[in-house]
Chain A
Amino acid sequence: MPIYEVKKIEGRDLYLIGGLPDVGLVGTLATIHLIKQFKMEEVGYYDSNKLPPILVLDSGLPKSPVRIFSHRNIMVLTSEVALPLNVFDDLANSIIEFAVEKKFRAVIMITGLITRDRIDVEVPRVFGAASSEEGLKLLKNAGIELMNEGYLAGINALILKKAASKGVTSIVLMAQSFEAYPDPGAAASALESLAKIIGITIDVEKLRKEEEILRIKLRELMKRTREVMDRITKIYELQKPALMYV
């Protein structure tokens, strides 16, 4: 299992919040915000020979670009690089096996939902999907709209599928978002929904206030992520569930 602990992860009612680079970098923005706001400490990392040959230097020390941070019962998984397609399956497996081993209360992934007229949407809406009845209950209690139709693609779809098969409670939170531009506003909405699910206070003002600067800073990651997203679109475009057209 390629998730390694730097510090022992233990406790009850643990939540794993994941944000990996994809639509609008919503997950990345949301998880970076959580790490900074709660001054989280690094407790683990994911490694694989399928990851790009990139190391993040932190105070002169080499770190994996996919790391887990923690604050009380909240673990946050984030990636600082665009993930190649061939790492998706292994990473999704590792997350779910880790969740089983550590008895996480829930694995909550944050992502963007491509919205064509996003520019006219002042406050993005957030939708949820879950791997189990327990997950649906968490969404319902938090007053989050369910994504009743449509389809999910990419790593979050794999995580939800694998969670369902292993009996892990998993939720995907999807905020209306730009597809190809970093969307801090969408990340702010997603975090507001997350706060309702896990019962904590998250101040998202900074995300909204510094939106323009964040959009500039994350251009490069967005571009690399889009290259991966375009490949997924090309591969799966023709494989959309046939029933959607019936």
Chain B
Amino acid sequence: MSGDIDEIFREYFRRIQRAIRRIEEEIEKELSTLKPMWDHERECLEPLYDIIDEGDEIKVTFDLPYIKRDTLSVNIGEHEIVVEAELKEEMRYTSYNVGKRREICFRRFYKRLILPEDVEPKGAKVTYKRGFLIITVPKKRKGYRIEVE
């Protein structure tokens, strides 16, 4: 019985976590319309991405062209995916007025993406094809079973 009560509390905790993440997601979405897709201090570019809900799975695609394949790093957590990769060659943009700099340079892609739902990282399938990183990861099972006495 006490095990069931613990599980109920754990479920409530998970729901609160999900609500917090939805708020984080909304904030990130709003901010992303205002901020550029690059960070010149860290010399990194943000890739385009897409999230598709496929029922029991979540499919995330990142557009990661022109990268050194062996530097591609993918870290999948229960709530987020972090993707990083170095560009084949640095990209320089001149005539930019960023602070006192007239030129900015980018060396890598970086993106930390908050997922819309909890996932099971161990079940993830990751492929890289034609410059696209495709991650399919099963959603964490929702609900739990309580024996009726």
Contact = CB atoms under 8 A, between A and B. Distances in A.
A213 B66 contact: yes
Contacts of A97: none
Given A119-B129, A212-B131, A216-B91, A222 B48 contact: yes
A213 B130 CA distance: 13
Contacts of A213: 65-66
Contacts of A212: 65-66, 131
A198 interface: no
Interface in A204-246: 211-213, 215-216, 219-220, 222-223, 227
B66 A219 contact: no
Q: What 6 A-B pairs have minimum CB-CB distances, sorted nearest first?
A: A212-B65, A212-B66, A215-B65, A181-B63, A180-B50, A220-B37
Given A119-B129, A119-B130, A181-B48, A219 B33 contact: no
B12 interface: no
Given A181-B63, A216-B45, A223 B132 contact: no
B3 interface: no
Contacts of A223: 32, 37, 48
B47 A219 contact: yes
B36 interface: yes
A15 B66 CA distance: 36
A219 B45 contact: yes
Contact of A216 (B33, B50, B66, B134): B66
Interface string B1-37: 0000000000000000000000000000000110011
Interface in A172-187: 180-181
B69 to A, nearest CB: 12
B37 A215 contact: no
Determine the main DSSP class of A at the interface with B: helix
B82 to A, nearest CB: 19
Nearest to B89: A213
A211 to B, nearest CB: 7
Contacts of A220: 36-37
Contacts of B129: 119
B85 to A, nearest CB: 12
Contacts of B130: 119
B132 to A, nearest CB: 6
A219 B131 contact: no
A153 to B, nearest CB: 19
A11 B37 CA distance: 43
B116 to A, nearest CB: 15
B16 to A, nearest CB: 29
A23 B8 CA distance: 46
A227 B134 CA distance: 22
Given A219-B46, A219-B47, A222-B48, 20 more contacts: A119-B129, A119-B130, A119-B134, A181-B48, A181-B132, A212-B66, A213-B66, A215-B65, A215-B66, A215-B131, A216-B65, A216-B66, A216-B87, A219-B37, A219-B45, A219-B48, A219-B63, A220-B36, A223-B37, A227-B33
A190 to B, nearest CB: 19
Interface in B99-149: 129-132, 134
